[in-house]
Structure 1
Amino acid sequence: MSIVSSDPAATPGFELPLRLFLGFRVLIDDLHAELARQGHPDVRPLHGFVFQAIGPYGTTAAELGRTLGVSKQAAGKTIDSLERLGYVQRATDPHDARRKTVQLTERGVDCLTRSARIFDDLRARWAATLGEERLHALENDLRTVTPQDLFRLDVPGWFGGA
């Protein structure tokens, strides 16, 4: 027996966030399966948020923690893990020798570049299934009901930590 009704008029409110999350999960799972095939088998969903938070110019562990909504210690553990995998490197800030930064390596940039291409392919797959007009309408509807700040990276902290 399903708790989800097949009658759209009787759809319970809790189904909307579950369906939105499930759509996100399907995209992310497909992304990571393809990243693994393309040479990045150790990348996890959290890492994408970390790579985005580090950005092209690097950041510190404290800044990374604030951006992700986690403690500096949790950010440091994530940095350690990504450093062992070859995705990030620590460096001394050229403007302040007391400040240590973390930066993406070539491998980290390659992973981000591949991710962007894979997301384009996944979007095209959804467009082929739903139709380009319906997918575009869905994207516009989601833009209408969500904040304009597209790149909130504090999801790890919001979900309970990194």
Structure 2
Amino acid sequence: MAEPVGGTPGADPAGFELPLLLFAGFRSVIDALHAELAEEGHAGLSPAHGYALQAVGLAGSTAGEIGRRLGVSKQAAGKTVEKLEALGYVERLDDPHDGRRKLVRLSPHGIDMLTRSAEGFDRLRAAWVRTLGADRVRALEDDLRTMAGADAHRLDMAAWFNG
């Protein structure tokens, strides 16, 4: 692990290190998950694709709804849907309630990816528990829930980073 920037281990680090460490922890989990998914037949997906598949949801959504959930334009959501459709993760169907709209639904391949993702996150959390201990991981999660607030589970992270 890299030395703390500008400080000594155990000393109070500079304030900018906290978001960098939080992001590094996030990225280590996401990178490990995507490595697993690639080995399980889901190569070529980015983290943004995972958020988009979550935005589609099990009931399906329109491109406009997906865009709102992701914090991007309908056009940007449409391009992401096109990519996911080309990769076999979603399919577009006529909306049974409104023939003018297309409904985007998860394909069996998309459902498999989300299922494997959930299982992978459980394995990765278990690895953190083995390293840090169950009490410390639970305390970390509780503390992050407190600090992140009620809307911690937002899907618009990619748009926030790129915005």
TM-score (norm: length of structure 2): 0.94
Aligned counterpart, 1:125: 127
98-107 vs 141-150, greater mean Cα deviation: 141-150
Cα separation, 2, equivalents of 1:89 and 1:29 = 26
Q: Distance in 2 between matches of 1:110 and 1:21?
A: 27
CA distance in 1, matches of 2:37, 2:9: 38
Corresponding residue number in structure 2 for 1:74: 76
Q: Which residue of 1 aligns with 2:154?
A: 152
Q: Give the Å deviation of 1:2.
A: 6.5
User: 1:134 aligns to what?
Assistant: 136
Q: Which residue of 2 aligns with 1:26?
A: 28
Q: 1:8 deviation in Å?
A: 3.7
- Structure 2 counterpart of 1:52: 54
Cα offsets for 1:59-93 (capped at 9, x unmatched): 11111111111111111111111100000011111
Alignment check: 8 A CA contact 2:29 2:124 kept: yes
Matching residue's letter, 2:85: E
- Structure 2: any 5+ residue segments left out of the alignment? none
User: What are structure 1's unaligned runs of at least 5 residues?
Assistant: none
Question: Residue 91 of structure 2 aligns with which residue?
Answer: 89
SS across alignment from 1:58: coil
RMSD: 1.5
Residue 64 (str. 1) matches residue 66 (str. 2)? yes
Report sequence identity in percent: 57
Which deviates the most, 1-10 or 33-42?
1-10
Aligned-residue offset at 1:42: 1.6
* Residue 13 (structure 2) pairs with residue 15 (structure 1): no
Deviation at 1:12, TM superposition (A): 0.4
Structure-2 separation of matches of 1:118 and 1:155: 20
Scaled by the length of structure 1, what TM-score is found? Answer: 0.94
Q: Deviations over 1:19-40 (max 9, x none)?
A: 0000000000000000011110
Quick one: structure 1 residues 2 and 8, their matched pair in 2 at CA, closer, same or farther if it must change by over 3 Å? closer
Partners of 1:4 and 1:15 within 8 A in 2: no
Instruction: Provide Cα deviations, 1:42-70, integer angstroms capped at 9, x if missing partner.
Output: 22100111011110111111111111111
Looking at both structures, which has the greater relative contact order when contacts are Cα pairs under 8 Å and sequence separation is at least 6? Answer: 1
